[in-house]
Structure 1
Amino acid sequence: MASWRVVVTQRNFDAQTREHLAAHGCNVVEAELPAGQADADLDEDTLAHLLQGAAGWIVGHAHVTDRLLARLPALQVIARRGVGYERVDTQAVARHGKVATIAIGGNDACVSDHALGLMLAVAHRLREGQQRLETGSWAIPLGSDLYRKTVGVVGLGRIGRGVVQRLRGFECRVQVCSPRVDAAWAKSQGVDVVALTQLLETSDIVTLHAPLTPDTRFLIDAAALARMKPNGILVNTARGGLVEDRHLLAALEAGRLQGAGLDVFVSESDPAYAEVTRALVARPDVVATPHAGASTREALDRTNRIAAESVLAVLEGRAPRPECVVADGRNTHEKNQGRLAA
């Protein structure tokens, strides 16, 4: 049986998936990260050292760059344990003849749950209630229902659709905005398809589930926030960078919104926003979590297994699930090598 070195630079890699890889000829090496550090904090030299000789890499949020890939000739496949891949240079992956995959279908349910949890927590002012009890006060902060509210869902991938389905249990009126909407699906779910401006102006809660691209960066800025209802709630469990956090902080400080539920922040990729994040997190009308929406035990086990199956498929010469592949340069690279040899 072949023996491939597979490096995992993400925490919480379960024993069952590790054993599954080992049973298929993989020598699994888990990076030992200092407490409080993620693979996104590792510099290029550290990553290159960890990955020397590796055929497979199961990665969290590290930047996968052209320069790093050039230092890793043995690497065949980069499998993200997650679904966002804005930190993966997919063109460089293809150019170097490698494959990059994402773990589609592993964390949809828990992120959808997390979004609903943030909606409820902000609407019912749970943070403020606990803060008052901690000071000995039983004064009740008056919240609002999720029941029968109008909720605007921006982005209709797996997570967005999961949120729509969950909102049916609260008898919400749901309206969606997405570049691609299956009209039959929308009709079956009883949702309205609207433009972003209408969604912002008429929704009691706006929840974001779009990918971060050059077109969606700062999709929610001062102008968009000004369109929202005065007591509106903004929820972002998608990507930091969809919301201009400075503008959101200003809107909250001005009393323009009831509050916000945030799992992601611009400061995750731009340290210049660190003070803005601290100011947002300190506010009683903000319920914040540390990019934890996809991190339940069950979801991590699922995404570990999907990432591992993608790694095995590439190493064994098979095709990974098509929906998981975001870059595949194997054929192009082989053709280029053939031309060079000729």
Structure 2
Amino acid sequence: MSDNKPRTVVVTQRFFDEETIAYLQAQRCEVRLAELPPGKADGELAEDTLAQVLAQADGWIVGHARVTRALLERLPGLKVIARRGVGYERVDTAAVADLGKVATIAAGGNDASVADHALALMLAVQHRLRESQMQMNAGSWAILTGADLYRKTVGIVGLGRIGRSVVQRLQGFEARILAVSQQQDATWARQHNVTYVDMAQLLAHSDVVTLHAPLTPATRLLIDAQALARMKPTAVLINTARGGLVDDAALLAALQSGAIAGAGLDVFLSESDPAHAGTTQALIALPNVVATPHSGASTHEGLGRTNRIAAQCVVAVLDGGQVPAGCVIADGRPRA
């Protein structure tokens, strides 16, 4: 460390715990928690507002705000942008590198939380929990027949950290697991009863299709009308990854027509494009849809882990130290 000058770290996310604040303070960081409007997240803040909030920041712990070149050019003193999460499609990584800054993600922090959430949605949809409670609220205790997850075929699209965590949880259900993955590990697959297949096979044979792929140009609208038509009419779709993976209008049509049986959704196209808000509202109104507001990673434990990893990344960059493994997504620092 070159000096003892305090560094300013601005946090534009809610639910930032006292333990992580204390950790940052012990590392000579002054922590400033941005005041967000009630019910609003940092992704809804205007660029001018963000520029003002971050004017004195050396480090920024960010949620869903867009990290654009235009914003970064207004923040010459900002050295590190740490996402409290793992998706980074809203971060202009090329601009980060061009401008000599570092961007990181909280790799490994929310794997368990999101995997748990995916299983919860599978069970809730299969057992028709929402439909049953809706009927009970309306005064009917008629029994709706659900479906087991036990020994069913589950198709997993994407075997990164979260996808593999889902595989581990499915072992107790004795599920047959099909997977589409760019990287294939035959030994690991054999140990976990995973069979690698292509997308067409996965869609045709799965009782549950669960998405755990990143959002890229290649995966955008991966689940479209054609893909949904390949699924079993008794199958359900689970998406805890990114809204852009699914054509929500096509999903709405498939659910309304009975082309598939149900869906568990934590993410929606309307999160990044308000033009789809009407479709989102129509989806979450359906009795065979269990919906949550992109909250899969938002457990006390998961947020604590991702807060700490993001803070460790900030400190490592500011100190010129080693960033936790797998966390750097853009690095514009001069090479030695």
Shorter-chain TM band:
over 0.9
* Percentage of matched positions with identical amino acids: 65
Counterpart mapping for 1:27-46 below 5 A: 27-46=30-49
SS at match of 2:243: coil
The match for 1:285 is: 288
Equivalent residue letter for 1:273: H
Give 1:319 deviation, angstroms.
2.5
Greater mean deviation of Cα atoms: 314-323 or 253-262: 314-323
SS at match of 2:146: coil
SS at match of 1:323: coil
Equivalent residue letter for 1:286: V
The match for 1:294 is: 297
What CA deviation, in whole Å up to 9, does each residue of 1:227-256 have, x standing for no partner? 000111000000010000000001011111
The match for 2:122 is: 119
C-alpha distance in 1 between matches for 2:27 and 2:237: 45
Long gaps (5+) in structure 1: 335-342
The match for 2:173 is: 170
C-alpha distance in 2 between matches for 1:311 and 1:182: 33
TM-score normalised over the length of structure 1:
0.96
The match for 1:183 is: 186
C-alpha distance in 1 between matches for 2:194 and 2:273: 36
C-alpha distance in 2 between matches for 1:280 and 1:12: 28
C-alpha distance in 1 between matches for 2:256 and 2:302: 35
C-alpha distance in 2 between matches for 1:246 and 1:314: 43
Counterpart mapping for 1:11-22 below 5 A: 11-22=14-25
C-alpha distance in 1 between matches for 2:261 and 2:33: 43
Equivalent residue letter for 1:47: L
The match for 2:80 is: 77
C-alpha distance in 1 between matches for 2:235 and 2:17: 40
C-alpha distance in 2 between matches for 1:175 and 1:322: 29
The match for 1:220 is: 223
C-alpha distance in 1 between matches for 2:239 and 2:122: 10
The match for 2:243 is: 240
Give 1:136 deviation, angstroms.
1.2
Give 1:187 deviation, angstroms.
1.2
The match for 2:104 is: 101
TM-score normalised over the length of structure 2:
0.98
**Quick check: 1:58 aligned with 2:61?**
yes
What CA deviation, in whole Å up to 9, does each residue of 1:69-121 have, x standing for no partner? 00000000000000000000000000000000000111000100000000000
Q: 2:27 aligns with which of 24, 31, 34?
A: 24
C-alpha distance in 2 between matches for 1:25 and 1:271: 40
The match for 2:203 is: 200
The match for 2:151 is: 148
Give 1:322 deviation, angstroms.
3.5
Give 1:287 deviation, angstroms.
0.1
Give 1:141 deviation, angstroms.
1.3
Long gaps (5+) in structure 2: none
C-alpha distance in 2 between matches for 1:269 and 1:181: 31
C-alpha distance in 2 between matches for 1:95 and 1:319: 21
C-alpha distance in 1 between matches for 2:302 and 2:255: 32
SS at match of 2:334: helix
C-alpha distance in 2 between matches for 1:281 and 1:35: 23
C-alpha distance in 2 between matches for 1:177 and 1:190: 14
C-alpha distance in 2 between matches for 1:318 and 1:299: 25
C-alpha distance in 2 between matches for 1:141 and 1:257: 17
**Quick check: 1:211 aligned with 2:214?**
yes
C-alpha distance in 1 between matches for 2:119 and 2:38: 30
Greater mean deviation of Cα atoms: 146-155 or 134-143: 134-143
SS at match of 2:10: strand
The match for 1:67 is: 70
User: How many corresponding residue pairs?
Assistant: 333
Equivalent residue letter for 1:281: I
C-alpha distance in 2 between matches for 1:103 and 1:269: 21
C-alpha distance in 1 between matches for 2:184 and 2:143: 41
4+ runs of 1 displaced by more than 4 Å? none
C-alpha distance in 2 between matches for 1:167 and 1:317: 41
C-alpha distance in 2 between matches for 1:30 and 1:311: 15
The match for 2:136 is: 133
